[in-house]
Chains A and B, each alone.
Chain A
């Protein structure tokens, strides 16, 4: 039952979904989004970008697990919690049936909607990976603080295939790979060439790579995402979303969905042929699109 994801990543192509936590007390916001994703093997509960104080991902992951029975990967960032709070969240998540963590440093509060907040970074992502692996293997933190019970945890991080200089990014990942990193999820990527280049650089690390897919609500969403210097949305995808702008309401939504499906169906097939471990599909606000995309793919 436990650690299915870790096994499935080594065995075949794995499709997972991603949903953001939110600044809300309405649990259905997240649970319904996950339920509408259809047949995915697991779901990442992530922190919304640029938003501080969203409901704690460890708790939300536990709720999603309870409500959907799905395997959940809980994103943990080092931004808001010191080492004790991170440990506390890992244990609480595990208590709620969540074994798997996606660890990142986290964006700086300065670039968020609460820029005055203290940036914690008591641990960094490498130290957090180290803590989780140590807990999992030895039942204690690297500093020797024991935690009771069977931990058996799985930990991954986010990789940046478009990072430059790429050799620094590869070394950063290699540092974590040496700690026993179980998987990586790439930052949203739309270029199979960039992914193949990244794969050739990181193959020797022997860590399964899940490709991050980001579906786009409409042309505005695409343009906003394109402002992130780490992402390049292909012009042809923007053009087809732009065409949908001539329509209204449901017609427009359907045209946008079609544009996404046309692009990503082939893209995911290419990712699969390139030998990646899987894809993580994120469609913020249009989670039902994940279900449509997944059902179109050859299994």
Chain B
């Protein structure tokens, strides 16, 4: 799940300043779960825009705005409004904003900040779990990602900031992931696995925008 949070009204309003005729696009997938770009949030945004003196030509929740094919299919229903709009305000993650731009060929503006790739514990509690490094080390680290869960992203922790099993860098009493890795190894009777030195990551894997094609 791609986790998003709403940008401040002030920031959205500033971005919209040069534009009058607006179409608002929501996201029926992740941003609906995050309650940042579902039906209700789109409705609220439209009301806000009207209050700011904008002319809202249309609004809709696209099933998954990150998919250019679905954008093209869904936007066809409001084709004329999109055509006339000065800008489309997209309430989805950054991927959705860019895909809508690509599908429509129109000026797009982001209403949300994309914060992380995370798990949903329950609605209103989302936890970052992956930083898409392109070289998953979960098999070496007992299914816990040190890139995300260690404040320093260390591949061989813990570090000097481990205080009573907690991370001294992150606030809110977070467990040191390397202590958890150790405990899991110990429970499995694999203590020696902790002594292995995980190699440095290959940073050349992630250069520019990655592409997967076949």
- Which residues of chain A have a CB within 8 Å of any CB of chain B? 79, 83, 104-105, 107-108, 110-111, 119, 121-127, 130, 142, 158, 160, 163-165, 167-169, 171-172, 174-175, 178-179, 187, 229-230
Determine the distance from Cα of A101 to Cα of B12 in the docked complex, in whole angstroms. 51
From B120-128, B131-139, B195-203, give the one contacting chain A. B195-203
Q: Does A107 contact B194, Cβ atoms closer than 8 Å? A: no
Q: Does B199 contact A105, Cβ atoms closer than 8 Å? A: no
Interface centre among B157, B160, B200 (most CB of A within 10 A): B160
Q: Which of B153, B160, B169, B178 contacts A110 (CB 8 A)?
A: B169
Instruction: Give the interface size class of chain B.
Output: 20 to 34
In the complex, residue of chain A having the shortest beta-carbon distance to the beta carbon of B195: A175
Determine the distance from Cα of A208 to Cα of B160 in the docked complex, in whole angstroms. 19
- How distant is B65 from chain A, measured CB to nearest CB, in Å? 31
Contacts A108-B152, A110-B169; is A126 near B197 (CB within 8 Å)? yes
In the complex, residue of chain A having the shortest beta-carbon distance to the beta carbon of B185: A171
**Known contacts A164-B163, A167-B182; 7 further A-B pairs (Cβ under 8 A):** A122-B200, A126-B197, A164-B164, A165-B182, A168-B182, A172-B157, A172-B158
Interface of chain B, main secondary structure:
loop
What chain B residues lie within 8 Å of A79 (beta carbons)? 152
Q: Does A124 contact B164, Cβ atoms closer than 8 Å? A: no
What chain B residues lie within 8 Å of A229 (beta carbons)? 163-164, 168
Determine the distance from Cα of A179 to Cα of B182 in the docked complex, in whole angstroms. 19
Q: Does A105 contact B159, Cβ atoms closer than 8 Å? A: yes
Q: Does A121 contact B153, Cβ atoms closer than 8 Å? A: yes
- How distant is A207 from chain B, measured CB to nearest CB, in Å? 14
- How distant is A174 from chain B, measured CB to nearest CB, in Å? 6
Q: Which of B162, B182, B194, B200 contacts A163 (CB 8 A)?
A: B162
